[in-house]
Amino acid sequence: MMRKPHILAIPYPAQGHVIPTMELCLCLVKHGCKVTFVNTEFNHNRIMESMSEAENVINQVTVPDGLQEEEDRNDPKKLTEAFFEVVPGKLEALIRKINESDENRVSCVIADENLGWALDLAKKLGLQRVAFWTASAASLAMMLNVPKLVDDGIVGNNGEILRKQSIKLLPRMPTMNSTDLLWNCFSDPGLQRLVFDMAFKNNESVKAAEWIICNSSQVMEYEVFASYPKLIPIGPLLASNGLGKTSGNFWREDTDCLKWLDQQPLNSVIYVAFGSHTIFDIAEFQELALGLELTNRPFLWVVRQGFIEESEIAYPEGFINRTRNRGRLVEWAPQQKVLAHPSLGCFLSHCGWNSTIEGVSNGLPFLCWPYFADQLFNKSYICDVWKIGLGFDRNNNGIIGRREIKNKVEQLFGDENFKARSVDLQAEVLSSVKRGGSSYRNFSSFVNWIKARN
C-alpha cells in the first residue's frame, strides 16, 4: 500500500488563524493525508482546556512561543517578535527529528503566509512548500502590491504613508484608503514597522511556495483570482467540509445558546460577535447594548473576557433585566453552528474574514462594524460588492450611537433584497465546494499534487 503523505502544518498563533488551519488539516485527513499540527504550547493548552481539541486524527505537537508564562499574548508585537525568534529553530529540529524515520517522513510543509521563514525552511530541507492565507484574497493582493506602492511614492521606505489617497487595485475591487493599509492600523510605530517589514519579507518567501491556497471562493472574489492566478481558492473551509466539528477554539463554547436559539422565531435573531481580539471602549459598548435593546428583537451577543478596555464589564443600568426575555449573552459561541441556525436573522459582525466567510456560507445578511485592518476592506465587499449588508455611520463624537444601530437593523430587516442576495451568494459559494465546483476541483488537484510527490 502507498504510504500516506505526511504534512506538517503551522498557523500564525492567533485564533483567526488556528481555526481555519485546523479545518484545512481536517479536510486533508479526510482525503487520506497524515497531518502533524504545530501549535504553541500556550495555545495548545488553551484549546485542551476549552475541550475543543481536534479528534486525534491529527497529530498535535507544540513549540514554545518564546514568551514567559505571565507575558501578554494579546500584544501582537511582543508575540510576533518572540515567536519569530524562537520557533524557526524549534521547527527545524522538529522536522529533522521526524524525518529520521523514513516511514514517517514529512514531505510537505503548509505554513501560514505570514510565516515566510517557515517556507524558507521547507525549501532548505527540500520539502514541498505551501502557503496558506487565512484572510481574503483581496487583502493578500494588497500586500503583494506593497512594493509598488513604495515605488509609486504612496508609501515610504519605512512604511510611512506619504500620500493619503484611495487605492484601487482592480477595476471592480473596492477602493482602500492608503491610511487603512494593514500596518498603519496599529498605533505603535515599532509594530507598524514590524508588520511592514514582514510584508516585504513574506512577499519574497512566498515566491518559493509551490501553492498559495486561500480560504475563499472564486465566486466571492472572482476578479482577484482571475488577476492573480497563483492564488488558489479552496474555501470556504468550514467544519462541515471536514470532519464536522470546529476545532481549535481558545475559549469554551457555550452550547446552551443553541437551545435558546431553538425557542426563537425563524429568521429573527441578531447574532452579535466581534471575533477574538476586538476591544471596545465603554461608551461604544454601552451604546451597542442600548441599541440592541431599542431594536426590540431577540439577540445573541458574544461578550468575550477582555471585550472592553475596563476590567469589569459594565452593562447600562437595568439592561440585563430589561432584555432578559429576548437577549442572550455568552462568552464564546459555537459560531458556525449559531450561524447555521434557522432562527438567525442577521449577523452584526466586525467582519473578520472567517466570520465573513462563515456568515456568507449560511446566507446571512450583515450589519458591519469593522474595527481595523482588513475588516474595513471586507466590509466594502459585503456592502458594496455583494450588497448583502449595511455599515453603521459614526456620529459627531465618532461613536456608533444606539439610534443608528436601531435604524440600520430596521433597514436591513425591512428590505428583503438583502436576504435574497445573501441566499443567492450562499448557493453559489456552497456549490463551489461541492463535487465539480471550483474550490472542490482546486482542492482535489492540490491533494493529488501532494500525493504525487510524496
Tell me the residue ranges of DSSP E strands in 215-275. Answer: 231-233, 269-273
Q: Which amino acid is at 292?
A: L
- State the Cα–Cα distance between residues 298 and 348, nearest whole angstrom: 13
Least CB distance to ligand UDP at residue 20 (A):
7
Which of 7, 8, 9, 19 is in the footprint of ligand UDP by CB under 6 A?
A: 19
Residues 318-347 that bind ligand UDP (CB under 6 A): 332-333, 335-336
- State the Cα–Cα distance between residues 418 and 364, nearest whole angstrom: 9
Least CB distance to ligand UDP at residue 101 (A):
35
Which of 15/432 has CB closer to ligand UDP? Answer: 15
Least CB distance to ligand UDP at residue 126 (A):
33
Grid cell locating 49: 482546556
Q: Which residues contact 387 (CB under 8 A, 6 or more apart)?
A: 417, 418, 421
Residue 354 binds to ligand UDP (criterion: CB under 6 A): yes
Residue 277 binds to ligand UDP (criterion: CB under 6 A): yes
Which of 233/275 has CB closer to ligand UDP? Answer: 275
* 388, 425 contact by CB (below 8 A): yes
Which of 25/149 has CB closer to ligand UDP? Answer: 25
Where does this chain touch ligand UDP (CB under 6 A) — which range of 38-46, 199-207, 208-216, 350-358?
350-358
Pairing type for strands 344-349 and 389-391 reads unpaired
- State the Cα–Cα distance between residues 319 and 316, nearest whole angstrom: 5
DSSP 217: -
* 21, 215 contact by CB (below 8 A): no
Which of 280/353 has CB closer to ligand UDP? Answer: 353
Which of 251/446 has CB closer to ligand UDP? Answer: 251
Which of 355, 362, 432, 438 is in the footprint of ligand UDP by CB under 6 A?
A: 355
Which of 121, 302, 348, 360 is in the footprint of ligand UDP by CB under 6 A?
A: 302
- State the Cα–Cα distance between residues 99 and 108, nearest whole angstrom: 12
Where does this chain touch ligand UDP (CB under 6 A) — which range of 25-33, 197-205, 354-362, 386-394?
354-362
Residues 365-384 that bind ligand UDP (CB under 6 A): none
The number of angstroms, rounded, from the C-alpha of 96 to the middle of its chain's C-alpha atoms is 31
Tell me the residue ranges of DSSP E strands in 50-189. Answer: 59-63, 108-112, 128-133, 166-167, 176-177
Least CB distance to ligand UDP at residue 408 (A):
20
- State the Cα–Cα distance between residues 91 and 83, nearest whole angstrom: 11
- State the Cα–Cα distance between residues 376 and 179, nearest whole angstrom: 11
Residues 221-260 that bind ligand UDP (CB under 6 A): 249
Where does this chain touch ligand UDP (CB under 6 A) — which range of 12-20, 104-112, 171-179, 361-369?
12-20
- What string marks each residue from 41 to 70 as x (binds ligand UDP by CB under 6 A) or -? ------------------------------
Q: What is the largest CA-CA distance in the chain?
A: 69
Which of 253/293 has CB closer to ligand UDP? Answer: 253
Which of 361/438 has CB closer to ligand UDP? Answer: 361
- State the Cα–Cα distance between residues 137 and 41, nearest whole angstrom: 30
Residues near ligand UDP (CB under 6 A) are: 15-16, 19, 249, 273, 275-277, 302, 332-333, 335-336, 352-355, 358
